[in-house]
Amino acid sequence: MRIRAALATAVASAGILLAGWQSGAHIAETGTATTTSLNSSATSGGIAAGGTNSGGGTTATGPSSAGSGSSSGSSTGSTTAATYDGASVQTRFGTVQVQVTIQSGKITEVTALQLTDAERKSAQISSRAAPVLRSEVLQAQSANVQTIGGATVTSDAYLTSLQAALDAANF
């Protein structure tokens, strides 16, 4: 009986270690280890709105086969703005895809093309989290920002899609 209990304990411990390791690997992929709490004061602004620039574009592919990887640019004076679509990331709450605009070596805009909408609550969470993520990305000038507490799945998908767009842009 003791051997059976010891074996069960060892298997349970191994399972817990494996789950923790996978969580750590997932955090390392997105480059975030802490979370920001989402509250009602951080909900102003709505979803980022912006159009795509049209013009002679090139096609680039991101690291995900699910991403469209398209980009386009237009010339405005001496600077060139280019937009890059990130990968379409599937979550249990729906699909997330973002687009990034880069001008003069800086991220100038992040637009949510698709946000989770499988349920009314997930759509509400996404609409509150997207502006916060957009603001943090523009400030950090990278996808290495904190996830939003209460919107972890959406945040992870948003940042994954954003990183694919940045990879396509060689940013």
Residue 73 and residue 82: Cα distance in Å, rounded?
4
Distance (Å) of CA 154 to CA 8, 25, 107, 133, 161: 36, 18, 21, 10, 11
Domain positions in the chain: 1-30, 32-168
Q: What is the pLDDT of residue 25?
A: 42
Please state which of the four CATH numbers 1.10.10, 3.40.50, 2.60.40, 3.90.1010 is assigned to the domain occupying 32-168.
3.90.1010
Phi-psi region of 85 (alpha: psi -120 to 50; beta: other; left: phi over 0): beta
* pLDDT, tens digit (0-9, with 9 covering 90-100), for 17-45: 545 544 444 443 443 333 333 443 333 33
Q: What is the pLDDT of residue 14?
A: 55
Predicted structure pTM score: 0.59
